[in-house]
Amino acid sequence: MRTNRDLGKLLREIGAFLEMEGVAFKPRAYEKAAIAIEAMEEPVATPHQKGGAKLVATVPGVGKSIADKIVEFLETGRVDYLEAKRREHPVDLLGLTAIEGVGAKTVGALYDALGIQNLAALEEAAKAGKIRGIKGFGEKSEQEILQGLEFLKKEPGRFPLGEVLPIAKALESRLGELSQVDKVTLAGSILRRKETIGDADFIVVSSHPDAVMDFFVSMPEVAHVYGKGSTKANIRLENGLDVDLRVVPKQSYGAALNYFTGSKAHNVHLRRIAQSKGYKLNEYGLFDKNGDVIAGRTEKELYAALGLPFIPPEMREDRGEIELAYDGKLPKLIPYGKLKGDLQTQTNWSDGQHSIEEMARAAMKRGLEYIAITDHTIELAMTGLDERRLSEQMTEIRKIDRRTKGIRLLAGAEVNILKDGSLDIGDELLSKLDVVGVTVHSNLHLDRKEMTERICRAIRNPQVDILFHPTGRVILKREPYQVDMEEVIRVAKETGTLLEVDAIPDRLDLNDEHVKMAIDAGVKLVIDSDAHATAHFDILDLGVATARRGWATSKDVMNTLPVERFLKQLKRSHAHRAS
């Protein structure tokens, strides 16, 4: 594949090799170029086709040298410079640096001292106590590496939903275009929008299954075919994702979709209900004692025959949804694509890629009615705004808002919660902003009590409207902070603070279970893109999916409201009314 994402990964790998070599500045240059390429809305192949390397070099952060490498990759699928680096340093750099706390320099040191090339060798050396003997390493580093390895291994071969979903959707439409395919549907954990995905499942209805199978196993990105029959084929793609395809008869489509979507626990529960009615339920349909078909053509028909309304896939975890459905009390989940606002966006005033106006236009294009500009504040020394700059930006946002029709811009900030729970921007300035979000970006390793008190102190501040990505976890990479979410939720309820569902694919923070906890406690939510570039507004639906998995309705999510009503329910607005 030669997508922007692949190219970004490649540029990052080059940067990491240079980092390992101790080269100055170039690593940052490659990383910046990677970020810029990944942030592009159009495939970089487009400027390449239109104007070659010259036009590619107009992307900010991409100069002649990197543009040439991009062109080489687009035309040949490889970059000689990178291949040479890989030969020179025969290490699985991306794999090893995926360990939290291990960077390129560490990989280099491990290779020089012990010849470690990959995760397996590293684990062996760490377990044998060999790491602590290397200069600059001690017992603690060895333990950290082992812990990092354990965390990576917890869900081997799993991918973040946000990474898999676009690939799966593209595959779905390609299969759908085949003339032999009557119907194709994405099933499995992807349909349930689980936050990590082990494999992709497709259900196909076709009267010519062989042709479909032939096409499926001979797609260009297929790396391995595990098996291929007339109703079922399993493959692995080059990117490591396993994909299963099943061809089913038309009359079994609903039953098959239900069966292969799961979850397993949900299916078991459904089969128990079927049994209690004297029926049998399997992937071919719902049958009575004589083996006659009761239902199976559609999922709706299947659920109806079991005395249930249709249950949305995101709820199918057997966490009580079947009982609710039985009583006719299923929540009406927040629909996709209906958010009116986005309360966390960054611009090039801090670490975003685009200007305030560019972000505003992109948001408008995606049908949003308002966004808050929430750049980082000062504690993030690399990018953050101090009070003077934040104040200047506020003026600028208001100016742009006045002259921009069709979208409302709110002045905000992503304010840092300091170690003691105070904020890095004073209350007076905060009180002038429209929306204030706070979050933890430093001292991530406080103990549970201290972290909980820190966050609770911050959200008790009357100027604080929203707690952004409340647990700080990074999916498949970093555990959440040690924090008592029940207590945070209790204080959020008490103070009227909103909790965020951050839609960044490897955050999804709050997660589904926390969403449910918050809703049960009566706490209101917002779903934000945390966009750092114009293209990122597209991920909002991942946040909606997470909220749906936590049974959120539109009433629970405040940015389904139009802007004036949204602003009225912020706690500072309540404070104004009270005074």
Partner DNA sequence: GCCGTTTTCGGCCCGACTGTTTTCAGTCG
Residue type, 574: H
Whole-angstrom CA distances from 471 to 414, 441, 478, 544 are: 15, 11, 10, 18
Report, in Å, the least distance between residue 379 CB and DNA.
Answer: 7
Q: Please choose, from the candidates 192, 138, 152, 145, the residue with its C-alpha nearest in 3D space to the C-alpha of residue 168.
A: 192
Cβ 12 to DNA shortest distance, Å: 12
By beta-carbon proximity to DNA, the closer residue of 108 and 313 is 108
Closest CB 95 distance from DNA, rounded Å: 13
- Residue closer to DNA, measured from CB, 160 or 209: 160
Q: Where are the alpha helices (DSSP H) in 77-226?
A: 80-88, 93-97, 104-114, 119-127, 139-153, 161-176, 188-191, 209-217
Phi-psi group of 479: left, alpha or beta (phi > 0 → left; psi -120 to 50 → alpha; rest → beta): beta
Q: How far apart are CA 188 and CA 146, in angstroms?
A: 32
Nearer Cβ to DNA, position 70 or 489? 70
Cβ contacts of 561-566, under 8 Å, gap ≥ 24: 561/340, 561/341, 562/340, 562/369, 563/340, 563/341, 563/369, 563/370, 563/408, 563/410, 566/340, 566/341, 566/370
**Cβ distance to DNA smaller for residue 324 or 474:** 474
Which element (helix H / strand E) includes 460?
helix 448-460
Give min distance, CB of 1 to DNA, in A: 23
| Closer Cβ to DNA, 79 or 167, answer by number | 79
In the complex, least distance from residue 72 CB atom to DNA, rounded to whole angstroms: 12
Q: CB of residue 467 vs DNA: minimum separation in angstroms?
A: 16
**Which element (helix H / strand E) includes 410?**
strand 408-416
Nearest distance from residue 71's CB to DNA, in Å?
Answer: 12
The whole-angstrom separation of Cα 145 and Cα 119 is: 10
Which lies closer to DNA via its Cβ, residue 28 or residue 224? 28
CB of 20 to DNA, least distance (A): 8
With respect to DNA, which residue has the nearer C-beta, 67 or 464? Answer: 67
**Cβ nearer to DNA, comparing 2 with 26:** 26
- Least Å from the CB of residue 452 to DNA: 17
User: 443 — alpha (psi -120 to 50), left (phi > 0) or beta?
Assistant: left
197 burial via Cβ count (<10 Å: 0-12, 13-18, 19+): buried
Q: Which ranges of 218-355 does DSSP label H, i.e. alpha helix? A: 253-261, 264-276, 299-305, 321-326
Which is closer to DNA, CB of 132 or CB of 224? 132
Q: How far is the CB of 14 from DNA (least distance, A)?
A: 8
- C-beta separation of 225 from 282 below 8 A: no
* Backbone φ, ψ for residue 165 (5° rounding): -55, -50
* C-beta of 53 vs 333, nearer to DNA: 53
385, HSE (Cβ side, Cα atoms, 13 Å): 27
Residues that bind DNA (CB under 7 A): 19, 22, 24-26, 28-30, 32-33, 57, 60-67, 81, 97, 100-107, 109, 132, 135-142, 144, 351, 380-383, 419, 441-443, 445, 474, 478
